[in-house]
Structure 1
Amino acid sequence: MKICFLMYPWDRIEPETDSTLRLIHEAASRGITVAITTPNNLTVRESVAYAFCNVLKKTEKISSNVPAFYKSAEFKRCKLPLAGFDAIVMRANPPLDTTALNFLDSVRNDVFIMNDIDGLRIANNKLYPASFSGEAARFIPVTHVSKSQEYLEQVLDESATEKMIMKPLNGFGGQGVIVVEKNAQQNFRSLLEFYIGSDDGNYVILQEYVEGAHNGDVRILMLNGEPIGAMRRVPSEKDIRSNIHAGGKEVKHSLSKEEKQLCKALGPQLVRDGLYLVGLDVINGKLIEVNVLSPGGITRINKLNRTKLQKRIIDFLENVVSARELVIERKNSFRKVIEDAEAI
């Protein structure tokens, strides 16, 4: 099996905590051919999509210690056709590079891509939760999105609650997330001017404040529509954001009955959209965000629960690739029968 990880640069990895490194280490430990590349290294030659890759050199023994594996890893630089891989694992950091997806369009029928490029196109923004309907809709907080300053002022003024969450539509990692309160409306117009900006303006999200947000959120990792692990992220005393990179800390968490219902309601659509590995951010039973590009948390959830989620993820990839190969073999055997019949 051959896997290409389309990701951030190798030298930017934090070996103690990086989720992608755990996936790479697990794949390499199984003898899988591993190549890594970045969106900037995609290219086309004679209408064929290639990538300048660093191919991990195989060794007789791979250290079970992931940071040690990272430090000792050696690579060979190669220009490789993307269609030659069995799977491409999308692990680039936000924001989404839409040009990179255009390179992958030509190989989508030849390679299993996780997550699916159309799924990334529709889900890599904070509007995606609004697409859930039916039973899933009850887990989505009331959300308003606009670049109209007047409309957003009206939303806050008419809100039944005393505070709301405001954030930029294109933000990530907790950037720009603030609480706005009715008793401080005199500052709201200035904030909107800053967030929306000039010219065509930027979209702003104004969302109902979910009670319990001050206690942090729950990150749930979903694989093929099912939860495989979770952790609670608790914000620092000086910040409302619970993102680890914003100063939050992780604690062990078992899914509540309501959180399990949320996963069951959302899972089928995630799979239909080709979003096989995602991170759900949940507060008090409400879905706040869906992370589809490079959802993290594997290392921290592993540590809290003494597990190795990367094993389940690579198992999934191997099973998908094996099933695809069986389909091809079956098709070829049937074609052979037809060809033999024609020769009679």
Structure 2
Amino acid sequence: MKMVFVMDPLEGIQRDHDTSYLFLQEAVRRGHQVDHVLPSQVRWDSWRVVFVGRSVSFDGPPEAPERLGPPRLIEGPDLDVVLIRTDPPFDADYLAVTLLLDLLPDSVVILNRPSGLRDANEKLAALHFPDLTPATLVSQDPEAIDEFRQRVGGAIALKPLDGFAGKGVLLIRDGDPNRRALIGMATQGGTVKVVAQQLVDTSQGDKRILVLDGQPLGAVLRRNDTGAFTHNLASGGRALPARVEESDRRIVERIAPWLRQRGLDFVGIDLLGGKLIEINVTSPTCAQELNRFDGIHVERLVLDHLERRANRFAPAPVIDQ
């Protein structure tokens, strides 16, 4: 297959952690023609989408085996698969890339569907299932946010709508003399909407469940033992083994039709205290950690899925739970 990975630069990538890197390796191992494309190199030219990409190989030294070829022009309609693996935030440039990728012919498989990425804000998507989430307010009104805090027990988490990796998350509690200032800072003086969520038990960490085509592949617990409020690996959390419990499975079953309808084939859902917190759709991580803990190969399952969708007749996956 001819494949393009639209993703951030490979320089500085964490080879033993990054999920996109794992997918790149597997695609090359299978003999596919794989190109790395920066988001800035997705274009419309005359009558079609084109990319300026660099071929990917893994024949370098063990400490840095990836190799990129010289830039070359790639015709979008000739591709079989495009993977959008750019890290958040979902800003104007990210939006433009999804709009351009929408112009590819239907014969090109895109993971995840560009319109689905636009529809599913990672902080708001879970609100399609309000019975699964903590009590939530989305507002830019500082007074409404503080009133909500009092109504749900005195403690809330405040999150920016375009935040990622735990950045910008604030804890607001009763008795904090700075709470109004913090709310004002988060809302930029009442001009920017934020997510305010009832605080649930965070002491045991949060659980990331990777989901492929509506099926849970497995779970990883993320826990920050330093006393920090957030547990994201990027903010100091560490990965620990976890199970997909029956209650977790019911959550996945609830959201699976919604994901499939929007072409969101590969996502990561975050649970905290058994509650659905986020649905991560842009570039879900933790595949390498899940592989190490559970002995599975997420990258093989994802590539099998893409090959089937591109009519390459890969065998159906067998997922041990």
Same fold (TM over 0.5): yes
2:133 counterpart residue number:
140
The 5-angstrom pairing of residues 75-114 of structure 1 reads 75-96=69-90, 97-114=94-111
SS of the aligned residue for 1:252 comes to strand
CA distance in structure 2 between the partners assigned to 1:45 and 1:108 by the alignment: 15
1:215-259 superposed Cα distances (whole Å, 9 cap, x missing partner)? 100000000011012110111223011101111111111111111
Amino acid at match of 2:191: G
SS of the aligned residue for 2:137 comes to strand
2:256 counterpart residue number:
267
- Whether 1:162 aligns to 2:154 is yes
The structure-2 alpha-carbon separation of the partners of 1:108 and 1:119, relative to structure 1 and needing over 3 Å to count, comes to farther
Q: Give the conservation status (yes or no) of the 8 Å contact 2:158–2:186.
A: no
Bigger CA drift: 10-19 or 246-255? 10-19
CA distance in structure 2 between the partners assigned to 1:264 and 1:169 by the alignment: 25
The 5-angstrom pairing of residues 35-74 of structure 1 reads 35-56=35-56, 68=62, 70-74=64-68
**When the two structures are aligned, how many residues end up with a matched partner?**
310
1:238 counterpart residue number:
227
- Whether 1:11 aligns to 2:11 is yes
Q: Give the conservation status (yes or no) of the 8 Å contact 1:281–1:289.
A: yes
Q: Give the conservation status (yes or no) of the 8 Å contact 2:122–2:281.
A: no
- Whether 1:290 aligns to 2:279 is yes
CA distance in structure 2 between the partners assigned to 1:130 and 1:67 by the alignment: 46
Q: Give the conservation status (yes or no) of the 8 Å contact 1:124–1:293.
A: no
Task: Compute the displacement of 1:195 (Å).
Answer: 1.0
Q: Give the conservation status (yes or no) of the 8 Å contact 1:16–1:67.
A: no
Two-structure CA RMSD over aligned residues (Å): 1.9
Taking structure 2 as the reference length, the TM-score comes to 0.91
**Quick one: which of 205, 208, 212 aligns to 2:195?**
205
1:312 counterpart residue number:
301
The structure-2 alpha-carbon separation of the partners of 1:197 and 1:13, relative to structure 1 and needing over 3 Å to count, comes to same
Q: Give the conservation status (yes or no) of the 8 Å contact 2:111–2:264.
A: yes
CA distance in structure 1 between the partners assigned to 2:232 and 2:61 by the alignment: 23
Amino acid at match of 1:80: I
CA distance in structure 2 between the partners assigned to 1:45 and 1:243 by the alignment: 40
Structure 2 alignment gaps of length 5 or more: 314-321
Task: Compute the displacement of 1:170 (Å).
Answer: 1.5
1:29 counterpart residue number:
29
1:331 counterpart residue number:
none
Q: Give the conservation status (yes or no) of the 8 Å contact 1:51–1:82.
A: yes
Task: Compute the displacement of 1:289 (Å).
Answer: 0.7
CA distance in structure 1 between the partners assigned to 2:61 and 2:135 by the alignment: 43
**Quick one: which of 314, 321, 336 aligns to 2:310?**
321
Structure showing greater radius of gyration is 1
Q: Give the conservation status (yes or no) of the 8 Å contact 2:149–2:198.
A: no
**Quick one: which of 188, 193, 196 aligns to 2:187?**
196
Identity %: 27
SS of the aligned residue for 2:227 comes to coil
The structure-2 alpha-carbon separation of the partners of 1:282 and 1:293, relative to structure 1 and needing over 3 Å to count, comes to same
Which portions of structure 1, spanning 4 or more consecutive aligned residues, are displaced by more than 6 angstroms?
none
2:319 counterpart residue number:
none
CA distance in structure 1 between the partners assigned to 2:63 and 2:309 by the alignment: 27
Richer in helix (by share): 1
Q: Give the conservation status (yes or no) of the 8 Å contact 1:229–1:309.
A: no
